[in-house]
Chain A
Amino acid sequence: MVGILGEILITLGVITLLFVAWQMWIGDVIYGAERSAQAAEQSELWQEEYEDSTAATPTPTPEATETPAQVDVTADPVILRPPADAEVFGIMWIPRLGPDYHVNIAGGVTRARTLDPIGIGHYPGTQMPGEMGNFAVAAHRTTWGKPFNRIADIHVGDAIVIETPDGWYTYRFRTLEYVRPSAVEVILPVPQEVGVSANDRYLTMTSCSPMYSLAERIVGYSAFESFTPRAAGAPAALTEGAA
């Protein structure tokens, strides 16, 4: 006969083991699926909104007949206004990590409001997708659906596509870097170049390194390639095989 105290201790032990299983595995399964589903839903919503807005103009005005006839596959990027805290404004697609890899991007990099409940956070004060300078984002590499878990598996030249209501911004992955947590220079308009004004369009992704550690940060850099307006349909980069 086990005493009450023994039963309580055994119960606490089981709860602790359950917590470890949740933190290391089950939680990621739950949140990972949730992130992917939320972004898929968001993507469909933007497409429907776009189709509704084009269908809502049945009588073409003279201007309208001139412009939509030819839409270049690529165009000058539309620059979004900076988002409010925790406001979803984009979706990150990384075909290398599978066709189901799509995660919402929202304003702010706090755990409580953006990184834990939504996924990828945009550093306030850094530039927006397609803008001259640095579009800098952060996400978990372990736990909470771990959006950047496989950041080190992305190859040079792989497409990283940011979808917004206006279209798709294609970036090409360049390189990884490991820095100290205090290295705020990585999110400057030109990464690691203090006092230099923007000369190109970059995407910077930060996450923790080593995994489960606070010691360092892993940083992934990509360079802007093109902007595909929604009217032109999804770019080929979005569906390129995870070869």
Chain B
Amino acid sequence: MYAGLWRILPGPWWVRVLLLVILAAAAIYGLFFYVFPWVSITFLPQEVTVE
């Protein structure tokens, strides 16, 4: 999987490393700001009110 990704990326090795870093940062951003909040609110109960 990652070997395939490495082959698909263009340019010399340092360009590929740079692209991988950018891809990883984008993935982490998506997780932190969209996926994890959704998981938290959907699957992890948190009750702070009396009812």
Residues of A at the B interface (CB closer than 8 Å) are 4, 7-8, 15, 18-19, 22-23, 26-27, 30, 109, 111-112, 115-116, 121, 123, 138-144, 148, 179, 181-184, 186-187, 206-208, 214, 217, 219
Contacts and interface: CB of A to CB of B under 8 A. Distances in A.
A23 B1 contact: no
Interface in B18-51: 28, 31-33, 36-37, 39-41, 44-51
Interface of B: 1-2, 28, 31-33, 36-37, 39-41, 44-51
A219 B28 CA distance: 36
Nearest to A110: B49
A182 B32 contact: no
User: In this complex, which of A18, A182, A186 has the most chain B Cβ atoms within 10 angstroms of its Cβ?
Assistant: A18
A19 B39 CA distance: 9
28 contacts: A18-B28, A18-B32, A22-B31, A22-B32, A23-B40, A23-B44, A27-B37, A30-B33, A109-B48, A111-B46, A112-B41, A116-B37, A121-B49, A123-B49, A138-B48, A138-B49, A139-B48, A143-B40, A143-B46, A144-B40, A148-B48, A208-B46, A208-B47, A208-B48, A217-B48, A217-B49, A217-B50, A219-B50
Contacts of A138: 48-49
A141 B1 contact: no
Contacts of A112: 41
A181 to B, nearest CB: 6
A17 B49 CA distance: 29
Contacts of A4: 1
A139 B46 CA distance: 10
Contacts of B51: 181-182, 184
B35 to A, nearest CB: 8
Nearest to B1: A7
A26 B48 contact: no
A194 B2 CA distance: 64
Contact of A140 (B31, B33, B36, B46): B46
Contacts of A142: 46
8 nearest CB pairs, A to B: A7-B1, A138-B49, A207-B48, A109-B49, A22-B36, A138-B48, A208-B48, A184-B50
A207 B48 CA distance: 4
A237 B1 CA distance: 60
Contacts of B37: 27, 116
Contacts of A183: 50
